[in-house]
Structure 1
Amino acid sequence: MFRPLSIFIGSRYTRAKRRNHFISFISLTSMIGLSLGVLAMIMVLSVMNGFQREMSGRILGMVPHAVLATEQPLDDWQAVAERVRENPQVLGAAPITQLEGMFSFRGVMQPIQVSGIEPEAEGDVSIVGSKMVAGRLEDLEPGEYGVIVGLMTARRFGLKLGDKLTLIVPEASDSPSGITPRMQRLNLVGVFKVGAELDGSLAMIHRADAAQMLRWQPEQVEGVRVRLSDLYRAPEIAGGIAAQLGEAFHAEDWSRTQGSLFSAMKMEKTMIGLLLMLIVAVAAFNIIATLIMVVADKRADIAILRTLGATPRQIMAIFVVQGSIIGFTGTLIGTLLGVLGALNVSALVGWLERVSGQAIFSSDVYFISTLPSELRLEDVVLVSAVALGLSFLATLYPAWRAAQTQPAEALRYE
């Protein structure tokens, strides 16, 4: 079968047993280093994707995807919710009233964000109903001033169901200070756990109780909370719905309240990816060293090939082929191992926990009890392409040096 001279000789140089075993060792370490770099990048990026998916599911399953509100309290939220549900991008709608305040219990205080909700409708827009560890959403009844808090808040105060705690909400007044604290005793009726910071910063009361604290009518709410099918298009979709409802309505979506968190997570993934890329770069530099030593070892062979009529382009292509085979083999092995590792990293961590008898991710310390992983095709393709590109670039200088070899100089002392 016909094969170009450069591919034939380059592949033979890769397979052949060299006289200089040190060169073979350096070539092997280059391949191993490249494989480890690709393996590490794919696994780490997959784990970070898993963490981002978990945090998105937990945080964005609790906070509103978008809130449609007016400057004044909303009287007919049911009619607004019905109009909002007509949009095909909306999965659910429910009333919401949000307050900022402080919890006080036995001399201990904590800032808190309180959401006034309709328990029967909250399941359409939130996952809190499935995250209850004590009590139920239905235990929030109007006029009873019940409250549901996160597990971190309950632990910080040492609360149990039935305990009384005080909610302090600032209220504008005509006093010289301009603000008068308004206090309300609340009865703990439930505790939720979503495994995120919201466990220590969010609480829920009935919307009618929230209206009473704000001196509104019992049926009045701040706005309508919506759950969207594509939450990453929330600004666009919520803005369009607000425009359809009329000029009095405005939209506030999750990208304004939680966007900084997810931007930070995206930046962290990018920076860790760049740092791990240095492993691949080091392996590529090893390919340069390997080929330079191969060129020095094969000077006589190069001179003979030039004498037989091989062009500098063909000589250069020989060593490009040899370096590319090393890079391709290392990248292929690293990609396969990385994909297998990313798909089984959760099971591997579970096995290590069973063997060692120690919980690597304790639910009492971390927000998650397992190591999540989400393998994405675009990450695998990007890492493999970058590794192959760096490997190819690493072959150019040694190959160019080989092409500059003068036959008379190389054979003078042979």
Structure 2
Amino acid sequence: MNYEIFIAKRIVAAKKYKSSISSPIIKIAIIAIALGIIIMMIAIATGIGLQQKIREKLSGFNGHIQITNFDNNNSEITLVPVSKNQDFYPEFKTVSNIKNVQVFATKAGIIRTETDFEGIILKGVANDYDWTFFQEYLVEGKLPNYSSEVSNDVLISKEIADRMALKLGDEFNILFVKNDPSKAPWIRVVKIVGIYNSGFQEFDGSFVIGDIRHIQKMNRWNDDQVGGFEVLITDFNEIIPKSNEVYMQTGSTLNSESVVEKYPSIFEWISLFDNNIYLIIVIMILVAGINMITALLVLILERTQMIGILKALGSSNVSIRKVFLYNAAYLILKGLFWGNLIGLSILFIQKYFGVITLNPETYYVSEAPIYLNFGYIILLNIGTLILCLLMLIIPTIIISKISPVKSIKFE
């Protein structure tokens, strides 16, 4: 066995080591390492988790990329139809990693009940719609099916249902104003077959999902005319290059816009989370490193006699420094063990029980989302261990200054 490791193990196992003057300082250093890794894990898991959830919800309501007519319409309502007879529909063959292309149309309406009314946006979709997003946030009922004849089934949010005192299975009227205000509005009687709750109040408070054929009929569009296309991609990290590719592959009368371009302020805000994560990691590693440096210095000064004896027996400064670095590595690994155990427990509790809640008006989610990936956890542990050990190389220089003659004392 390597004798430096052997001596380091004997130091750790010694009873005197556990009751020495340095013992409380060592415990504080271990706690600092554990707290550091806990805070870093929580910062990364919640920061990335919040970014992903917000991106997921924005994409769920709008698709990753929207293709519409090239006009100056900046509202959520589609006014000028687009023909379905496009080279990229129903399959985008000229651009890779496209998950789905689906048609949509939107129209402003008013929900009217016997006691109240509420302005909404009816989003019409067809049988090519990918329901994965709404399946995750469905709280009651089922998803509508628009594959056969025109359907009056709609999917509404829990927020609208609560405000309008509606429940699963209820029928209600939606009024749509005609282009000529002097004429009576269109009235559609729809039935609630499903209720969703995404926690994104900006959309939950306004969107009702229904059959696109109702909008086509009210707008006097043909069956092959829609409000636009939503393009879903397989990897959100490629959204900018994919958006550019889609734009180049569409006709001159069409415009494509990614969800990042449509909601720039939200994406700029969530991009700031990365800076927060980096800052927390740097601060925590510095705090942990400084505590370990203090503990190691106390440990070295406490064992000057042992260092003198080892030097007298022929040990080099490098070998003795290795002894204390191995000792420090043991303390760091102990702190990392407890930190990972406690940190992962906290993250799993939050992931599956949602103990910590957030204000959805501010954060667009009702509870703190957790992103768990053992890849970043392993890298975080390895990085913390290596950086702390590199920081500890400097204080071990003091070992070379210790004289065997002055340090060895005989009783």
TM-score interval w.r.t. the shorter chain?
0.7 to 0.9
Q: Deviations over 1:61-100 (max 9, x none)?
A: 3432222233374453045554634455333333222356
Most deviating of 262-271 and 135-144: 135-144
Q: Report whether the alignment pairs 1:154 with 2:161.
A: yes
Q: Distance in 2 between matches of 1:360 and 1:412?
A: 58
Q: Distance in 1 between matches of 2:387 and 2:242?
A: 42
Q: Distance in 1 between matches of 2:268 and 2:234?
A: 21
Aligned pair partner of 2:300 in 295, 302, 313:
295
Q: 1:117 to 1:10 in 2, by over 3 A?
A: same
The answer (yes or no) to whether the contact 1:92–1:125 under 8 Å persists in 2 is no
Q: Tell me the SS of whatever aligns to 1:203.
A: strand
Question: Which structure 2 residues correspond to residues 205-216 of structure 1 after superposition, within 5 A?
Answer: 205-211=210-216
Q: Distance in 2 between matches of 1:167 and 1:406?
A: 92
Q: 1:222 to 1:296 in 2, by over 3 A?
A: same
Q: Tell me the SS of whatever aligns to 1:210.
A: helix
Q: Deviations over 1:336-379 (max 9, x none)?
A: 564566557656x49xxxxxxxx8779x9999899865431331
Most deviating of 101-110 and 37-46: 101-110
Residue 128 of structure 1 deviates from its aligned partner by 3.9
Q: Report whether the alignment pairs 1:30 with 2:33.
A: no
Query: 2:195 aligns to what?
Result: 192
Q: Tell me the SS of whatever aligns to 1:61.
A: helix
Q: 1:127 to 1:380 in 2, by over 3 A?
A: closer
Q: Distance in 2 between matches of 1:28 and 1:246?
A: 67
Q: 1:83 to 1:361 in 2, by over 3 A?
A: closer
The answer (yes or no) to whether the contact 2:158–2:204 under 8 Å persists in 1 is yes
Structure 2 residue runs without a partner (length 5+) = 72-79
Query: 2:227 aligns to what?
Result: 222
Q: Deviations over 1:101-142 (max 9, x none)?
A: 7778767655x5442333x333x4664478384586358999
The answer (yes or no) to whether the contact 1:103–1:168 under 8 Å persists in 2 is no
The aligned amino acid for 1:31 is I
Query: 1:384 aligns to what?
Result: 381
The aligned amino acid for 1:379 is Y
Residue 384 of structure 1 deviates from its aligned partner by 0.5
Q: 1:410 to 1:360 in 2, by over 3 A?
A: closer
Residue 388 of structure 1 deviates from its aligned partner by 0.7
The answer (yes or no) to whether the contact 1:146–1:186 under 8 Å persists in 2 is no
Q: 1:258 to 1:134 in 2, by over 3 A?
A: farther
Q: Deviations over 1:145-188 (max 9, x none)?
A: 9865322122223345333354569x8x9xxxxx99x9655544
Residue 411 of structure 1 deviates from its aligned partner by 5.4
Query: 1:354 aligns to what?
Result: none
Q: What is the CA RMSD across the aligned residues, in angstroms?
A: 4.6
The answer (yes or no) to whether the contact 1:319–1:395 under 8 Å persists in 2 is no
Q: Deviations over 1:2-54 (max 9, x none)?
A: x25x4443443333233752312322332243234324533564455555555
The answer (yes or no) to whether the contact 1:243–1:249 under 8 Å persists in 2 is no
Q: Tell me the SS of whatever aligns to 1:42.
A: helix
The answer (yes or no) to whether the contact 1:140–1:206 under 8 Å persists in 2 is no
Question: Which structure 2 residues correspond to residues 97-112 of structure 1 after superposition, within 5 A?
Answer: 97-99=105-107, 112=120
Once the two structures are aligned, what percentage of the paired residues are identical? 19
Question: Which structure 2 residues correspond to residues 51-200 of structure 1 after superposition, within 5 A?
Answer: 56-71=55-70, 73-74=80-81, 76-80=83-87, 82=89, 84-86=91-93, 89-99=97-107, 112-118=120-126, 120-122=127-129, 124=130, 127-128=133-134, 131=138, 133=140, 137-138=144-145, 148-159=155-166, 161-166=170-175, 185-190=187-192, 192-197=195-200, 198-200=203-205
The answer (yes or no) to whether the contact 1:145–1:187 under 8 Å persists in 2 is yes
Q: Report whether the alignment pairs 1:395 with 2:398.
A: no
The answer (yes or no) to whether the contact 2:243–2:256 under 8 Å persists in 1 is yes
Q: Distance in 2 between matches of 1:290 and 1:402?
A: 15
What count of residue pairs does the alignment treat as equivalent?
Answer: 392
Residue 308 of structure 1 deviates from its aligned partner by 4.3
Q: Distance in 2 between matches of 1:90 and 1:309?
A: 68
Q: Distance in 1 between matches of 2:15 and 2:132?
A: 65
The answer (yes or no) to whether the contact 1:18–1:24 under 8 Å persists in 2 is no
Question: Which structure 2 residues correspond to residues 242-257 of structure 1 after superposition, within 5 A?
Answer: 242-257=247-262
Q: Deviations over 1:228-261 (max 9, x none)?
A: 3334323433433443343333212222235654
Q: Distance in 2 between matches of 1:74 and 1:100?
A: 15
The answer (yes or no) to whether the contact 2:116–2:164 under 8 Å persists in 1 is no
The aligned amino acid for 2:59 is L
Q: Distance in 2 between matches of 1:236 and 1:99?
A: 30
Residue 326 of structure 1 deviates from its aligned partner by 1.5
Q: Distance in 2 between matches of 1:135 and 1:323?
A: 58
Q: Distance in 2 between matches of 1:139 and 1:245?
A: 27
The answer (yes or no) to whether the contact 1:304–1:407 under 8 Å persists in 2 is yes
Q: Deviations over 1:270-325 (max 9, x none)?
A: 52564366455434332222222222222233334444444444443333332222
Q: Distance in 2 between matches of 1:369 and 1:247?
A: 41
The answer (yes or no) to whether the contact 1:98–1:115 under 8 Å persists in 2 is yes
TM-score normalised per structure 1: 0.73
TM-score normalised per structure 2: 0.73
Aligned pair partner of 1:9 in 7, 10, 13:
7
The aligned amino acid for 2:384 is A
Query: 2:372 aligns to what?
Result: 375
Q: Distance in 1 between matches of 2:356 and 2:321?
A: 51
Query: 1:353 aligns to what?
Result: none
The answer (yes or no) to whether the contact 1:125–1:226 under 8 Å persists in 2 is no
The answer (yes or no) to whether the contact 1:125–1:225 under 8 Å persists in 2 is no
